[in-house]
């Protein structure tokens, strides 16, 4: 049975998508059957693995609105043990679509559609990684309800923890109402610039706040991670000897060793 991990932070630009792609690819390389779900209408995770809209017929919007069975939206990538369900701008319409559905049918559960869809396939994977959009709206709520745990990327910058209280409150809301077993997988420090002191200060602050929940692995700020998606590759294929490849490999090992906690 897959462990389902959502990458959530309503702040944009903190490394959710970069981590989703590269953690999913690294888990695949570690021999784990992995499915990456792009749950952001920007489709950056899909593009980052080399997919264009013309390459597929169905996307995650079709899945959670019930227009296509989930198995028909899964695309095998050329990377080891890695499949993806892509997203397109269609997903931006989900809030309106679900309000309409609730007006037509008062029993419709707008936050449970992804969980229901994943139930059909989760025994086929070891890990399902969900790349959320920078909001705590309906699509992210679907991810939280469907997941076993949440991985929170935090950028090593001023205001790193801005908005975290709101995020933790959303997690508690979901735990209290729809998914009592939802856990915090861990907090991941991203984009550390080793040449500045501010990075080290943030590390200390985040560790004080989240203690052992903070991953030992810290993702360095490296330009190779910015380049890789434009070549449609995870970092491990774009630059196998990069420090970034090693960092994501270490993160994957930590995630595997936490599995079952």
Ligand X SMILES: Nc1ncnc2c1ncn2[C@@H]1O[C@H](COP(=O)(O)OP(=O)(O)O)[C@@H](O)[C@H]1O
Which residues contribute to the site for ligand X (CB under 6 A)? Answer: 12-18, 44, 134, 190-191, 219, 221-222, 225-226
The residue within the footprint of Mg ion, chosen from 16, 115, 122, 233 (CB under 5 A), is: 16
Total binding residues for Mg ion by CB under 5 A?
3
Sheet holding 3-7, edge to edge: 75-76, 82-85, 34-39, 127-132, 3-7, 149-155, 183-192, 214-220
Cβ proximity of 85 and 62 under 8 Å: no
Nearer to ligand X, 114 or 222 (CB): 222
Residue 216 burial (CB < 10 Å; 0-12/13-18/19+)?
exposed
Q: Give the E-state strand segments of the chain in sequence order.
A: 3-7, 34-39, 75-76, 82-85, 127-132, 149-155, 183-192, 214-220
d(CA 114, CA 135): 17
Q: Pick one of ligand X, Mg ion, none as the site partner of residue 222 (Cβ within 5 to 8 A by kind).
A: ligand X
Binds Mg ion by CB under 5 A, chosen from 17, 47, 83, 148: 17
Q: How far apart are CA 218 and CA 11, in angstroms?
A: 19
* Residue 214: half-sphere exposure toward Cβ, Cα within 13 Å: 18
Q: Which listed option, ligand X, Mg ion, none, makes contact with residue 29 (CB within 5 to 8 Å by class)? A: none
Q: Taking CB within 5 to 8 Å according to partner kind, which of ligand X, Mg ion, none is near residue 233?
A: none
State the minimum distance, in angstroms, from the CB of residue 24 to ligand X: 13
Contact 151, 183 (CB under 8 A): no
Residue 12 or 66: which CB sits closer to ligand X? 12
* Least Å from the CB of residue 31 to ligand X: 25
Q: Which one of ligand X, Mg ion, none interacts with residue 48, CB within 5 to 8 A by kind? A: none
Q: What share of residues in the chain are helix, strand, coil (percent, to 5)? A: 50, 20, 35
Work out how close the CB of 36 gets to ligand X at its nearest, in angstroms, rounded to a whole number: 13
CB of 219 to Mg ion, least distance (A): 14
- Is the Cβ of residue 38 or residue 62 nearer to ligand X in the bound state? 38
Q: Which two tokens stand for residue 25?
A: 């690819």
CB of 97 to ligand X, least distance (A): 23
- Would you give the distance in Å from CA 187 to the centre of its chain? 13
Residue 17 has, within 13 A of its CA and on its CB side, a CA count of 24
Smallest distance, Å, CB 18 to Mg ion? Answer: 8
Q: Is 22 in the site for Mg ion (CB under 5 A)?
A: no
- Of the pair 38, 185, the CB lying nearest Mg ion is at 38
- Give the residue carrying structure tokens 């449609």: 232
Nearest approach, Cβ of 181 to ligand X (angstroms)?
25
Name which of ligand X, Mg ion, none residue 221 binds, using a CB cut-off of 5 to 8 Å depending on partner kind: ligand X
Residue with Cβ nearer Mg ion (122 or 187) = 187
User: What residue ranges bind Mg ion (CB under 5 A)?
Assistant: 16-17, 44
């Amino acid at each position: 049975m897959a462990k389902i991990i959502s990458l959530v932070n309503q702040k944009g630009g903190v490394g959710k998508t970069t981590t989703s792609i590269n953690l999913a690819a690294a888990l695949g390389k570690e021999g784990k059957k992995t499915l990456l779900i792009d749950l952001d209408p920007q489709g950056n995770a899909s593009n980052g693995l080399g997919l264009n809209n013309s390459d597929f017929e169905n996307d995650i919007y079709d899945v959670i609105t019930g227009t296509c069975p989930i198995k028909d939206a899964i695309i095998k990538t050329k990377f080891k043990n890695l499949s993806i369900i892509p997203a397109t701008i269609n997903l931006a319409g989900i809030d309106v679509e679900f309000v309409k559905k609730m007006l037509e049918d008062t029993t419709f559960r707008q936050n449970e559609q992804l969980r229901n869809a994943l139930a059909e396939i989760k025994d086929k994977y070891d890990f399902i990684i969900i790349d959320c959009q920078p909001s705590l709206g309906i699509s992210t709520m679907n991810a939280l309800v469907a997941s076993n745990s949440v991985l929170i990327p935090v950028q090593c910058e001023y205001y790193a923890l801005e908005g975290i209280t709101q995020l933790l409150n959303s997690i508690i809301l979901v735990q209290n109402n729809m998914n009592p077993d939802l856990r915090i997988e861990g907090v991941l420090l991203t984009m550390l610039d080793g040449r500045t002191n501010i990075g080290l200060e943030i590390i200390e602050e985040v560790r004080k706040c989240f203690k052992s929940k903070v991953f030992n692995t810290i993702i360095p700020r490296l330009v190779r991670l910015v380049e890789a998606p434009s070549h449609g590759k995870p970092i491990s294929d774009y630059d196998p000897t990069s420090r970034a490849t090693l960092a994501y490999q270490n993160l994957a090992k930590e995630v595997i060793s936490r599995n079952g906690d």
